[in-house]
Amino acid sequence: MAWIKKTAVALVAGALLVGAGAAIYVQRTFAVVDGKITVAGLARPVGVQRDGADVTHISARSPQDAWFAMGYVHAQERTWQLEFNRRVMHGQLSEVFGEATLETDKLMRSLDIVGNARKQYAGLPLYAREALQAYSKGIHAFHQNRPQALPPEFLVLGAKPGGEAGAVWEPEDSVGWALMMALDLGGNWGNEFARLSVARTLDTERLWQLMPPYPGEPPAASADLAALYRQLGVYRGDAAAGAAPSAGLDRGAALQAARKPEAAAAPGQGGGPVARQVSAGMLAWAEELTRNAGTNDGKGSNNWVLAGSRTESGKPLLANDPHLSLSAPAIWYYARLQAPAGKASDGSPIAAIDALGATLPGLPFVVLGRTASVAWGFTNTSPDVQDLYLEQINPADATQYRTPEGWAPFAVRKETIRVKGKPDVEIALRSTRHGPVLSDAQKSHADVLDLKKYVLALRWTALDADNQTVLAGLMVNQATTVEDLFAAFEHHQAPMQSVVAADVNGRIRFQAMGRVPVRAPDNDIRGVAPSPGWDARYDWKGWLPLDQTPQDEGAKGWIATANQRVTPPGYPHYLTQDWALPYRYERIAQLIEARPKHTAASLQAIQLDTASLAARHLLPHLQQAQSSHPLAAKAQALLKDFDGVMDAGRAAPLIMAAWTDELVRGLVVPRIGEARFAATYGKRDYRAGLEGMLARNDTWWCQPSTCAEQSAAALGRALDRLQAGYGADPAAWRWGDAHPAVSGHRPFGNVAALARWFDVSVPSNGDSYTVNVGQYNPGDAKTPFANRHAASLRAIYDLADLEQSTFIYQTGQSGLVFSPRYRDMATAWAGSGNRLLQREPARFVHSLTLQP
């Protein structure tokens, strides 16, 4: 008995010690937010205060010290985020995650994000280079004498900040991260490749029915794309492709195959269950990233600005909610940077900085926000700034490709990718006169193309050596008027943004800022699909002058953009045909025009609006569906009074979403095949194509049934799915249960035991077409309706009193999972909450001094 008692005491004592150690570790991971920290590299002390809204205020005595402190604070709060993002753009994920992320690493190496960033960094003016140097030094200074423990991601994964070289963040990495944002927001190469793939099984007329141009416009390309590609012989053999249409197969089996999740295990899944889940999750994430690279589908935002003539105060109001992939921690970090005018090392002047708003960890400036007298907001313009070129390989010499002047050698560079637990992978990456050969890095090309005859190369504005987008960001933080602001944005190149701005003098303005290529009049493809790279008529012919990009001075009293076509009638230049469907813009316009004068509160109500004009467009077809399913009558009763408001607490939005998904699958899978559908469906939801099919009562797409019969069958399949997932009582179904806003952590959001701690999830309203957007990926077999792409922040700026401006985003300021500030904005974001965005708050909650 004595032995048992001693053992029990020892076990309890051990458990207490472990618990105490864990508690001490958790406490040590928190950022130091009070007191003083001695930091090597500063010239003078810097104040770092956090107000009641948890906005970080950095007050320095020189611009260099302000940028340094911004780097230090980002490292304090977002250490793992910086490390993960650095590894993404460097193509070094596989050092930590093994073979699961190898294809992503290959893509980043192929694009040569870091190599191009170095060239662009070298071309920046001295003061901009010194700003990035100061920011980098701040991050390094944090790691050289860390006052807190590394967060658990490093411990669990065995990762070291900056890798073996300790290069935690170099000045060029900030340029690289700006390129990554351009990659996320500024591409259409995925749409081009999708059209190339689909043109294998559809003629060109059907291709444009499935992927229509913007409403009211003809297709941008006059070429017969399907005939062109057949004539060139670009596709790999049918027997090898294994992706023929399934029209001859049983429709139910075809649909089941198209929805079936991948069963293959992630490569390199050694180790314990956590390691295996991390590997599998990262494989899924990497495949999603590479599949959606180069597409603007689902990537949108809203902004609008009202002149004083349309506000109760008589001064402008401005609203902005950029829609980005939700993540934990969030992409944004709110801060104020303040410093007096200074000088660069060569004596050139640097204007004073006083900006407040959303920063991006990785960049030393406020990206979206305000100064003391001017506010601004972005949406994605989405012009076509990426073209894919079919490069024909010399059949007599595979080291050469065809140009207008004859055969020329590929430029080739060798890359080595380190892979955890495996030998290093050596790859040879080619480039042409147009740019990198993506076929060397994207496996999907081998599924479609005969790579012995053709490869695809990318021409993209963001990769040009004279890209000075980072300089624009620095200069914006020094603006005091609308004119200053747009002068700064003249340096912005990629991604092109629809910028709205207002100042305290009452001026409002919109202009699309960025670089857009000019295409020749005889270019009959116009960049909507891959073009023959040896034909000079498809080469770009220069740049659209900035004074000819879309712009508006607000003559009607308000300006709004929501990724819709922003060019006026008769606009003489071609920008793109891949604008977002105009539903969000139309709803914003309805709500603005619904009252003569607006307030900040009425603008917030617009931001939170969940009426889906897209749902209303299709709703009559659903309400008329005559299904024999046992739950059909109850479902139709719920739909009878449905008004298209995508409320989380209602069942009708869930029925609508499931029916739409099933109907798209039922009409499209038999025409293009399961594999091709799975490769192209998801964020690309084929909504415009579906609307056209139903509006035309298109017998070709609906065969062998009628469209009404297809609609009824889709409802039956949808009800089967919903009954299996949510029970047999449709009245108990809730859109919010199927449609939570999930801010996923990388990589622990994929580990069941850890996701509840690292992910941030709340029920959410909306769909892909509501102003309060809640975009989901119906191609995701596991969580097809989860909201993973939404308002990454909401901000409203009141130019009558900028201190009454507000913001909110979906997680919290801290990226440290144990911190109470990791998720403390989530509930307010999902509801109607906000926080004040003030230069001079009533009080500061925390006060820290960084001293040299």
At residue 134, the 3 state secondary structure works out as helix
User: Please, which residues have CB within 8 angstroms of residue 282's CB and are 6 or more apart in sequence?
Assistant: 93, 97, 100, 101, 266, 746, 747, 750
345 vs 127: CA distance, rounded Å: 8
Task: Output Rg (C-alpha) for the chain, integer angstroms.
Answer: 27
Residue type, 445: H
Structure tokens at 534: 């040896």
Check whether the bond before 747 is cis (ω within 30° of 0): yes
805 and 46 Cβ atoms separated by less than 8 Å? no
pLDDT for 2 equals: 56
> CB 637: neighbour CB atoms within 10 A?
12
**What percent of the chain is helix, strand and coil (3-state, nearest 5)?**
40, 20, 40
761 vs 764: CA distance, rounded Å: 9
**Burial letters for 379-416: b for 16+ Cβ neighbours within 10 Å, e otherwise?**
bbbbbbbbbbbbbbbeeeeeebbbbeeeebebeeeebe
Q: How far is CA 723 from CA 79, 719, 740, 760, 767, in A?
A: 43, 6, 19, 27, 21
CA distance from start to end of the chain: 61
207 vs 201: CA distance, rounded Å: 9
Question: For residue 130, how far is the Cα from the chain centroid?
Answer: 29
Among 126, 84, 133, 176, CA closest to 462: 176
206 and 671 Cβ atoms separated by less than 8 Å? yes
What are the start-end ranges of the H helices in 48-168? 63-90, 94-97, 102-111, 113-122, 126-144, 152-157
* Parts of the chain with a pLDDT under 70: 1-19, 238-272, 291, 294, 296-299
Structure tokens at 432: 């042409």
CA dihedral sign of residues 121, 126, 130, 133 = positive
Q: Give DSSP secondary structure letters for 205-233.
A: HHHHHHS--STT---S--S-HHHHHHHHT
At residue 807, the 3 state secondary structure works out as strand
What is the pLDDT of the chain when averaged over all its residues?
A: 93
Structure tokens at 34: 């009070």
664 vs 676: CA distance, rounded Å: 14
At residue 409, the 3 state secondary structure works out as strand
At residue 403, the 3 state secondary structure works out as strand
657 vs 243: CA distance, rounded Å: 27
243 vs 671: CA distance, rounded Å: 11
Q: Give DSSP secondary structure letters for 629-674.
A: -TTHHHHHHHHHT--SB--TT-SHHHHHHHHHHHHHHHHHHHHH-H
525 vs 146: CA distance, rounded Å: 55
Among 847, 849, 555, 670, CA closest to 258: 670
pLDDT for 100 equals: 94
pLDDT for 281 equals: 75
Among 559, 601, 557, 609, CA closest to 583: 609
Structure tokens at 129: 């280079």
